[in-house]
Amino acid sequence: MVQMQQFPRITHDPQVMGGKACIRGLRVTVATIVGLVASGKTIAEIVVAYPYIDEADVKESLAYASWRLEEIDVPLSQS
């Protein structure tokens, strides 16, 4: 049995950003953090831009995104 990875800083709430993966219930999505890193921002720059998150939040967002990419979609059989 595959055990689900634990990400205590990542939340999903339908009332916050439509249920997208967010940092600690804040209106900062994992996708926002990944996009900032992809555009060349450093963790320090991200924390300055979003002072209510910290380095651990950014790192866990990246780990969560990486974990989500490892999921495998298995097509249903056509029997």
CA distances from 16 to 2, 22, 28 (A): 29, 8, 9
pLDDT (0 to 100) of residue 2: 45
Which amino acid is present at 46?
I
- The answer, as to whether pTM is greater than 0.85, is no
How would you write the pLDDT of the chain (79 residues) with one tens digit per residue? 344 579 999 999 999 999 999 999 999 999 999 999 999 999 999 999 999 999 999 999 999 999 988 876 667 776 6
pLDDT (0 to 100) of residue 1: 38
φ/ψ region of 31 (left if φ > 0, alpha if ψ in -120 to 50, else beta) reads alpha
Residue 70: Cβ-neighbour burial (10 angstroms; 0-12, 13-18, 19+): exposed
**Sequence-distant (≥ 6) Cβ neighbours of residue 16 within 8 angstroms:** 22, 25, 26, 27
